[in-house]
Each structure stands twice: as structure tokens, then as C-alpha cells.
Structure 1
């Protein structure tokens, strides 16, 4: 049996390991891991506010699935992504022409490839007030979310950019220090939460406590099809380990939240949130640090039970 003193010593070692992992990536990092079956948990700054970036799309997907389960929303009904939602980026967000797809596929594109245009159209469909009400009902009144367009508009205003032009087209040449100081990169002035709250929301979804079982199952299924393999997945390369996640990226912000399931059936909700020292688009050290940090924390929980 592991003694309390030994567990405390082991936890201290993991904190030291995490500090080293984040320092090597030139980042500040916060983390929370929750064993979904035993309730055991481990946190590294887990109650500090963090910028969610696209991790805030999880409750939007949940509200979509809840409305489908309640018969309020037809997942097959077609909707059109128009220039009113497109701002440039991945998937429909970067398409040159209007794209028509079902409500279900908007949710799919939002979660699997982090499509911002699909996000904003789906948020219009389900209603921001309904997303807020669901988060409040579940006990997350401080869990933030927004439309992607609203966040982009705030950045344009703060940087004095043309409101009619694509944000990405106007960022070249803006100094790092101005981008790092953006309100969008600061907790409290951008959609925020805490690592512990994020894993609690994931736990509610994985335990079928965040809505009807069919709704929770749909969110789990879509999150399991995320295409990005460079963050959490990098720490869990073994065959048979399954991951479902949602990334978040905004200038120095590098995040991922998700659930890791081992072949033995044990499941862990993980949230890793980084703020790096640069606004560079490509930051492979930070991306890998997310996987390394998650693995160290999950291994600690697995060793202690």
C-alpha cells in the first residue's frame, strides 16, 4: 500500500517534472487530470484561470447534442455557411464560396478540425443563451465561450486594423509584444475557465451527467474523431490507447482538453493549458509539451491506484 508520505513525495516529483517540461517549451503551463472511474485527481495550478481558446467549443457541441436529443433540432437539416461567417482559416472558414451542410456536420467540423465558421453558424442555430443556461445548470457559471467572429472583431479594434478585411491577412508585421498583450490572450478578458472545471465538464459528459445519454454519447463520438495528432496524442502513442480531444490555439495560447482511455478500461480526463513566450504560429516544442505533461500526470495517477 502506498503511504501518504510516499504519495506526497511522488506528487512533488511530478510537479518538478511538469515545471521542467514547460520550461523546456518556454511556456507557462497548468494542468488537471481526473480519473473518471475512481475520482482520483492531480493538479498543477488547476484552479487558476486560463484562456480556453477553441476548448470553449465543447459546451457548444454539448448544447447542439442536447437539443437534438430533445427533438428540438433536426441534425439533418441543411444550413449554409456564407461570407457572414467565413473569416479565413481551416475547412469551411477558408472556402471561397458558400457551403451547405447539416447541423450535425457543422458540429463535426467545429470539433474535429476547429472550423470557426461552422462554430459561429452552429452557435447561431442553438442560441448563445441556451449554451449559457446549460453551463449554469451544470454548475459552470464562470465557464466562458464566444463566437469566433466577436473575438476577431475585438482583436481588430485593439490593433487598429481594418474591420472589413480578414484578420489573418493583417497580422503580418505586427510585433510579438503587441500580440502577446492582446485581451484575447488574457484570462478574464477572453473566454476562460480553470483546468479543474474543464475536466469536470468532460467527466459530466463521459458519465452521461451533462444531458441525455444519447447527447453525451454524440459529443464523445465527435471528439473521438478530432484530426489533430500533435498535442495530447503525442504523449500516448501506444496501440489501443484511445483519445478524444479538443485543441485550442490563439497566439501564445496552446491547449488541449480530452479523455484518454487505456485498453484496461481506465479513463482519464485531461486539460493542459500553455501560454508560451511567443505568438509564432508554429510551436512544436509547446505542442509536444502538452503530450509530455499529460503523460506524466496520467502515469502518476495510474501508479497510485
Structure 2
């Protein structure tokens, strides 16, 4: 265990970051980690419980997955998916969840959060025992950034960030777990375990969230650590200036299933940090390999 922690510390340092990680075997309950109880900024990882609340309400018949909603300019701030569209976009409730989880569409996230109710998301998390798991709208986080930097509230945030010094971006409250939606790596993997064991809601709801996470398009973080054919990964990334994360589940052909969360705080707020992205995959692989090596009777992949 000491050698694993030393290896992870070196790995994160080489990527110019500080990292925290936790992994748990979904079937045996075995677990290991590095800074697993440290509070970390979730960034878009907080979209997982929003998807869960949507799926629970759909499974219970409280909302119609096919109901139509319009992503208007009130939700769009620039970014992936409908968030960067020039004109209004209409789609179903289910497709809002799909856009949120597959490409991390912030506009779809905020509209879906309005549909399901932020209070209901909070109530579900608390009822499941995840009182420390933070959630927010993307709009509220963007407004906080504008206030802290003194930016025009009526202009695109992205258009105004180009000239902001890196040190000011690194000091924003969205990168501080005491002032932004946060959790711990251990709590995040516990939520994933509840989803994969059908303990977070009706089995149909949990299966829908798993399916959405399995369609995430980003392949540069967790996936980079598990390139072998036959290994399945379902995950959700999170990125915000000095924050780079991914949480998900790795499933091996021999039946081994592992919930893993890797959370990085980087030295730079630069958009492109391939070394940090690769470090997430390498760290996930290291802790999963360590856990698998301790399990008797597993076929080695």
C-alpha cells in the first residue's frame, strides 16, 4: 500500500497536479485509495445525481421522458452541445439527460435541473445517505465566476476569459471545495456502487443512468488507462480551470467490476493539459490493478 501511494504521488507530480483517488470492488466491497476522504471539487461529476433524479422520476411515472422542452438563450452560455447553439433547440426530457451525460452539455443540465427540481435532487441524495455530495446549476457557477472577475453578466463567459491572468483563474471559488459543489472520492464511488447495485432507486432507473454513462464520448481520461478490448467503462468527467476529474465504473471480461474516482487539482488552469488527463487513466489503472491483485480466484486479464 505504501508503494502504491508513493507511485500515485509521483504520477500526479509528474503531471503537474495534486491527485486524490478511490476504488471499490462492487461485488466484494474491497477498497483502496489515496486521499480518499479529502474533499474535492466535483465540477461536472455532480451531474450524475441529476441524471439519477431524472431516471427515478421517469421510472415512477412522475415525469414523461418524451415531453418536449426548449433550450432557450436563457440557458445557453457557450460550450458543448446545445450550450453553444445559436438558436433555440427543442428536445425530450430524456434527451436532455443524454446530452448532459454524454457530452456534459451545461444548458441541457440546467434545463433538466429545473424540470426535475433541485430540491428533489438534494432530497434524493440525502435520503440515500450522501449528505456531503454537492450539486449546483451550471448557471449559478458561471454567475459566481463573473462576479469574482468583474465580468459583464450579459456577455458570454468564454468570450471574456481570454485576457484574465492564470493566477486569477486558479484562485476562483469554483476550484475551492469549501466554496463549490464537492464531495470525497470515497463518497463518489459509494454513489456509483449504489447505481450499479440497483440500490439508488428502481432497477429501471439505475440501469438508465448506467446506460447514459456508458455512452459518454470523452475517451482521454479513464479510458486511456484501460485500452484492452473487452474492458467496458462508463463514466462522467468534470473540468473547471484547475479541476480535472473522472468518476466511473470499469468492468472486466472476467466479471470484475470496480467503481473508481480520480480527482486532480492542477498547477495551471490551461484548457489543454494532456499529461493531467493521462494521469487520471494511469492512476485509475494503478488502483484497480492493486485491488485485483489482492483478490483470490480472479482470472488475471
Which whole-Å CA distance do the structure 2 matches of 1:38 and 1:18 have between them? Answer: 24
Equivalent position of 1:190 in the other structure: 180
TM-score normalised according to structure 2 size:
0.98
Which whole-Å CA distance do the structure 1 matches of 2:178 and 2:96 have between them? Answer: 28
Which whole-Å CA distance do the structure 1 matches of 2:82 and 2:24 have between them? Answer: 34
User: Any idea what the Cα deviations from partners look like across 1:137-172, whole Å, max 9, x if unmatched?
Assistant: 000112101000000000000000000001100001
Equivalent position of 2:200 in the other structure: 210
The alpha carbon displacement at 1:233 in A equals: 0.1
Equivalent position of 1:46 in the other structure: 36
User: Aligned ranges for residues 102-117 of structure 1 at < 5 Å?
Assistant: 102-117=92-107
Q: Secondary structure at the match of 1:130?
A: helix
User: Aligned ranges for residues 1-305 of structure 1 at < 5 Å?
Assistant: 11-305=1-295
TM-score normalised according to structure 1 size:
0.96
User: Any idea what the Cα deviations from partners look like across 1:214-239, whole Å, max 9, x if unmatched?
Assistant: 00000000000000000000000000
Which whole-Å CA distance do the structure 2 matches of 1:300 and 1:171 have between them? Answer: 41
In structure 1, runs of 5+ residues without a counterpart are 1-10
The alpha carbon displacement at 1:183 in A equals: 0.5
The alpha carbon displacement at 1:12 in A equals: 1.0
User: Any idea what the Cα deviations from partners look like across 1:15-34, whole Å, max 9, x if unmatched?
Assistant: 11101110110000000000
The alpha carbon displacement at 1:13 in A equals: 1.1
Q: Secondary structure at the match of 1:300?
A: helix
